[in-house]
Structure 1
Amino acid sequence: MRRGSRSTVVAVLLTVAGLVLLLWGSGQGSSFVAQPQGTWGPPPIRLPELPDLVSVEQPGDEITDAEGAPEGAERVIDLVLLFYAAVVVAGVLLVLRALLRRDRRERDPVEEPDEELLALLDASGEEVRYRALTEGDPRNAIVACWVALEDAVDRSGLSTDPSETAAELTTRVLGRWQVDPAAIIDLSEAYREARFSRHPVTEEQRRAAVDALERIHADLRRRALAEQEAASAAADADAAGADR
């Protein structure tokens, strides 16, 4: 637990202890501030004694006890004080639980997405798309879009089938991350046409390839966010289970 959290917990506990002590003292009927015992100042003035007057009780008059409330009323007061003490303690426990859960979240950060997924996100990121759209001729730009994905898959260290080509492996990996198959087909076909054909490649084809790469990136980003949310939910569930 960090120093700030520890200080907050100590302050809350001291406050609760003070409240409970005050409530306990009130329930016992004692006062924390006693009446002054000594006498000081001018001496009291003595008046001449007067003869006792005979008091006449009127019908219907009742003699009340000035010593205090009946025993039943004192019991009700004690129960009310105990109820308030229980409410205060319950509130403090809830605050402490929230502080402990927050501290546990800070100590256990959410895991980052898979390295393979991060590599694919970088290979299809905004900078790559911008260069493909503005630099070089359309043919080389389209080829670079697909080759960047192949390089990302290769850097991830995924075990491959010797009979599987780099393009087939890249297609399979993108499909595993739930990328839209239409976007994969659009970019892979544009790549094959730009690399193996002899006819000119237009700017319109370049823009279509970059658009397909952008759709691939959007699906990969959506999957990365889903992975983070799942990891965060699992961490919250573990924290809730530990608090019980």
Structure 2
Amino acid sequence: MTARRSGAVAVAAVVATALVVVLLAAWAASIGPADVLTGTGPSPVGTPTDTASASAATGPLLPGQEAAAHHPPGWVRTAALLLNLAAAVVVGWLLLRFVVLPLTRAGVRLRRDRRQRRRRVEAGEEDFDVLGSARAVARAMLADAGAQREELEADGSPRNAVVACWHRFETQAAAAGLARRPWETSSEFTMRVLDLVDAHQPAVSRLGELYREARFSEHELTEAHRAEAVAALDTIHRTIGHRTIGHRTIGAATGASA
């Protein structure tokens, strides 16, 4: 099971648990006091003769009349209401934390990317660099491929290793003379660089997901995450520069067979 799928399952489990709490609270509030307080109750106030006479005259109370004759204490209704409110607050927080905020951030990023793309078009700038820059970046990445992989596999925290591996692409591009544009974030620059050298897009996307998980999540990353990152990095190295410097050069640089 991937990290994304595991996170989705955990969120679903938390939300389901909170919904169960709400249902149980509503159930307790609706039937608990009535069940607890059912029964004949104390004898009516009055003399024994009056009570016996009244009972003989009117007969036993019907079930509906017994329930109407007894009311739950006010503190029971208050406690049930507070329990319902607390459960509703928990569910609301979970929805806000795991649904509303992620969707809002994704929408903000999408709008920002569209504005940046529109500015580039209006300024007459090309969305791609010249072939010479692509070749230079591809060669710089392949020259550093072995060291980058060793750093990712080195002992230490998988979180730090994945973050350092992703940032190393930016360093490689800068060493080849490719500068980050003023409006680009670090991740946007890295994605543009990897697209420039024709890196395998699914592998780039997976490594980017692992980087964001390592950079911004609070849970611990495991060796399984590191292994996924190594596999994605190997695929990226194998596919770098297929159309810019040739497949044979890539095989020699990475040690992979053509």
TM-score of Structure 1 vs Structure 2, range by shorter chain: 0.3 to 0.5
* TM-score, scaled to structure 2: 0.41
Rg (Cα) greater in structure: 1
* TM-score, scaled to structure 1: 0.43
Write 1 or 2 for the structure with the bigger share of helix: 2
